[in-house]
Structure 1
Amino acid sequence: MTALLRGFGVLWFGQTVSVVGSALTGFVLGVWVYQSTGSATQFAIISLSAVVPGIVLAPIAGVLADRRDRRGLMLIADAAAGAVTACVAVLLWTDQLTVWHIYLATAVTAACNTVHLTAFYAMLPLLVPREALGRANGLMQMTQAAQIAAPLLAGALVGTIGLRGVVLIDLCTMVVGMTLLVAARLDRSATAAPGAGKQVTLGEDLGHGWRLLRARPGLFQLAVLFGGFNLLFAMAGVLVQPLILSFGSAATLGVLMFAGGTGLFAGGLVMSAWGGPKRRVSGILGFLAFGGVVLALHGLRPSAWLIAVVAPLFLFILPIVSGSTLTLVQVKTPAESLGRVVATTRMIGQAATPFAYLVAGPLADRVAEPAMAPDGALAGSVGVLIGTGPGRGIALIFWVIGAGMLLLTLVAVTRPRLRRLETELPDAAGSSDAADEPSEPARQPEKERPRSASQPA
């Protein structure tokens, strides 16, 4: 048991170091694109390049995680990402780097990260005991939250060692992550692919995660709920910076973004120490309702002090909601299917994010802002409550997003299969604490047990 926890700790630390290094490069390359082109659209394409590959390739990543040695898969993904970063470094050194190189590098790196994370999350229940799984997912959320330091650190580094130096640091952190991945003492049963050697078609494999989720209505509804949450969160994330800049300076924006990031980091810290609510579904719904209220408060008035309070409060719930959702998926899914189910859940969760990126700006510029102008259509109604003028249309959208999250929570409460998920669907065997216990395949009701792709209909 101690060896398993130590192995996870080594992997987690290595991944955190590597993620921070990649975040440094991502930030400075984004700045380079904007300074080179002066185009906000081209800058936004970087965000799409970082999201779309993960959505499209998630099913393939899930198949690989269930059919190949998971540590080996993570090493291959990391090596490929490192090779891409090395190519960017060479292009920088030879003064041949162009914007399309950045888009391509971002997309390939995002694909590699999808494979790496899918394999890691699929392996996680075999690395830590079930009672510690929530805390382990909290640490994984802290890894993502660690990226909040990237803009501050990258800004300081660019001024001293330049863009080339930052890319070199990224390469060094990748080497550290891969070295620790190789050095971690992991039991073979934790890294081996449980489904290796099974003879199924690629089409059956790609659809397996979707079919298994559909066979478990409560788990599928949880994935859809997670997707709705991410859609609303993405829209708020796109618009919060223009909201702040409508009444504050760039310096104010930097301070408030850092304040929000501290809330994200604190949420990950709490999740890693707490492990999440004992009744996870109820906890997720409660935090979603709280998040809806806090999102609406963003638009109450144009105040930096208000944003300094509500932004960290909202981002605080993100690691708890995400960590609790992933823990439920891991606990309720058989080990041999976990890679494909985790990948499908992440795909559902992220599928609407590009849509949010594409529609949020036009919705604010062409609909909400004109309606909330001093002479706009809503100036005499909603404008009396939240004011009129620049930025108040975005404030109105925050009210709508907050109401949408409350509505999403209300709809989820009416779904009995989701509410009873933890009691109705038995935990799956295969976590590290069950390694010495006999397998109990009969624990899951026959009507909900997914059919293997190799079994007849």
Structure 2
Amino acid sequence: MRIFIILWLGQLVSSVGSSMTYFALTLWVWQQTESATAIALILVFYQLPQIAISLFSGILVDRISRKRLLIFSDIAAAGCTIAVGILAAFQALQLWHIYLIAAIIGCFGNIQSLTYSTLVPLIVSKQHHARASSLGTIVSYAAGILSPALAGLLYPRVGLLGITAVDMGTFAIAMVTLFLVPIPQTTRRLQPSPDSPQPQNPWQEATFGFRYIAAQPSLLAMVVVMSSFAFLHQMGEVLYQPMILARTGGNAQTLGLVVAASGIGGVIGAIALSIWGGFRHRISGMIVGFIGMGVSELALGLGRGIGIWAIARFTTSLHSPLIFSSYMAVWYAKVPPNFQGRVFAADYLIGIVIEASAGISAGLLADQVFEPALRAEGWLTTTVGTVIGTGAGSGIALLYAINAVGIIMIGLVSSRVKRFQDAEALIPDPEVDEGLM
């Protein structure tokens, strides 16, 4: 775990800087447009290029030094961040610049994320996979605690240029940790299982991950269930910040406190999971996480005021490490390390398509359907409006609540899906594994 902890610390520091930049950009876009769609499109443009690059990035991860890939992708992303700061300093920054830079960062971010996801089984023993995955979730949530407060404090004083300068300082720390630790390569002698498809040409190489998943019904069922959850959850992630801004008249301090509460919940959930180790049956962990997160998001959508929003985001994030760590533990147990780049890339590509679709859908539904329906004389004002409220942000809140109900239903229904439950058999008993090592 020592090597993992060193890398993890570097990424934790770097994530604070990157999240500060993203938070500042969210504020900038809202100030310019006051549009949920405009904010959602930042994420959409970040994700869309990854659809084209994901299959090939999986091949790169399985074939090229993972340390070199991390260094290259980090430097490229840092250059894009510097570009944002320079454009802002000369007052030349425009909305399309942000979308273009987000697309470029997305390409390199895809390689970086995929590479990091394949490091866990290389540098961490099997019985600690869930713990390592839960520590990985701390990175984003810990950044959520500090970044909004720091960005909210610094942005009015130093602008985007100053925020990006801080981001570059944290990036330098991450690069030092990356250079300090050895990262092993995978062995190429390991052969796939007999039922796994054999790559023979470039096209088969690129589609290997999809065929590997399709050859194992339990993994395929997991992808379907997780994709359904991810679509609704991602819509919520896109919507909740514009909802709070709209309902508070653009109050950045309120949003910052709610985002910070979300970060605290994620950190506590990840720390608790890293100590506990999670459910022995990982699928049970996912189901419990689905239902718990759905109930929390429903409270956020129906709630009014900073108190309920902060508590709801705290409990939403509290369940997130349980879902994603349990999910990844299944993949680490089933997929051999030297195939993980291509197989994880296939799963990642599916996730990108789902999340990009969710982002577009969330923005359009919020701005074109639900918000007008709950404004003055809207067609839902006298019915749903009496419960959820009317005016700016109410339509977004209604859409958020509907998504939350959908997540609860996914948790209840997936507990009855046999192929999804069959994935339990793929996970070796942690106690047995520990005794053999």
**TM-score normalised to structure 2 length:** 0.85
Which of 300, 304, 307 pairs up with 2:309?
307
Is this contact kept in 2: 1:263–1:313, CA < 8 A? yes
Distance in 1 (alpha carbons) for counterparts of 2:244 and 2:83 = 37
Look up the equivalent residue of 2:61 and give its one-letter code.
A
Look up the equivalent residue of 2:168 and give its one-letter code.
L
Match of 2:234 in 1: 234
Match of 2:223 in 1: 223
User: Do residues 120 (structure 1) and 116 (structure 2) align?
Assistant: yes
Look up the equivalent residue of 1:234 and give its one-letter code.
Q
Is this contact kept in 1: 2:263–2:314, CA < 8 A? yes
Distance in 2 (alpha carbons) for counterparts of 1:15 and 1:305 = 31
Distance in 2 (alpha carbons) for counterparts of 1:422 and 1:327 = 11
Change (3 A) 1:195 1:179: farther
Match of 1:177 in 2: 174
Is this contact kept in 2: 1:53–1:111, CA < 8 A? yes
Change (3 A) 1:144 1:300: closer
Change (3 A) 1:273 1:205: same
Match of 2:333 in 1: 331
User: Do residues 61 (structure 1) and 57 (structure 2) align?
Assistant: yes
Deviation at 1:200, TM superposition (A): 3.9
Distance in 2 (alpha carbons) for counterparts of 1:305 and 1:94 = 39
Look up the equivalent residue of 2:335 and give its one-letter code.
T
Distance in 1 (alpha carbons) for counterparts of 2:83 and 2:72 = 17
Distance in 1 (alpha carbons) for counterparts of 2:159 and 2:411 = 46
Distance in 1 (alpha carbons) for counterparts of 2:387 and 2:31 = 39
Deviating more after overlay: 308-317 vs 125-134: 308-317
Gap regions ≥5 residues in structure 2: 191-197
Is this contact kept in 2: 1:372–1:392, CA < 8 A? yes
Deviation at 1:138, TM superposition (A): 0.8
Match of 2:44 in 1: 48
Is this contact kept in 2: 1:69–1:192, CA < 8 A? no
Change (3 A) 1:33 1:313: closer
Deviation at 1:137, TM superposition (A): 0.6
Distance in 1 (alpha carbons) for counterparts of 2:292 and 2:232 = 14
Deviation at 1:358, TM superposition (A): 1.9
Deviation at 1:34, TM superposition (A): 5.1
Is this contact kept in 2: 1:24–1:154, CA < 8 A? yes
Deviation at 1:324, TM superposition (A): 1.5
Change (3 A) 1:126 1:433: farther
Distance in 2 (alpha carbons) for counterparts of 1:201 and 1:25 = 41
**Higher Rg:** 1
Distance in 2 (alpha carbons) for counterparts of 1:47 and 1:79 = 21
Change (3 A) 1:386 1:22: closer
Match of 2:193 in 1: none
Change (3 A) 1:369 1:305: same
Deviation at 1:204, TM superposition (A): 0.9
Look up the equivalent residue of 1:177 and give its one-letter code.
A
Deviation at 1:64, TM superposition (A): 1.0
Match of 1:28 in 2: 24
Look up the equivalent residue of 1:235 and give its one-letter code.
M
Q: How many residue pairs are counted as aligned between the two chains? A: 425
Which of 160, 173, 185 pairs up with 1:163?
160
Change (3 A) 1:44 1:397: closer
Match of 1:316 in 2: 318
Deviation at 1:141, TM superposition (A): 0.5
Distance in 2 (alpha carbons) for counterparts of 1:27 and 1:265 = 19
Give the secondary-structure state (helix, strand or coil) at the position aligned to 2:118: helix
Is this contact kept in 1: 2:247–2:393, CA < 8 A? yes
Question: How do 1:300-449 and structure 2 match up within 5 A?
Answer: 300-372=302-374, 377-378=379-380, 382=384, 385-386=387-388, 391-423=393-425, 425=426
Which of 145, 150, 155 pairs up with 1:153?
150
Match of 1:85 in 2: 81
Deviation at 1:270, TM superposition (A): 2.2
Look up the equivalent residue of 1:295 and give its one-letter code.
E
Change (3 A) 1:98 1:296: closer
**TM-score normalised to structure 1 length:** 0.82
Distance in 1 (alpha carbons) for counterparts of 2:394 and 2:173 = 47
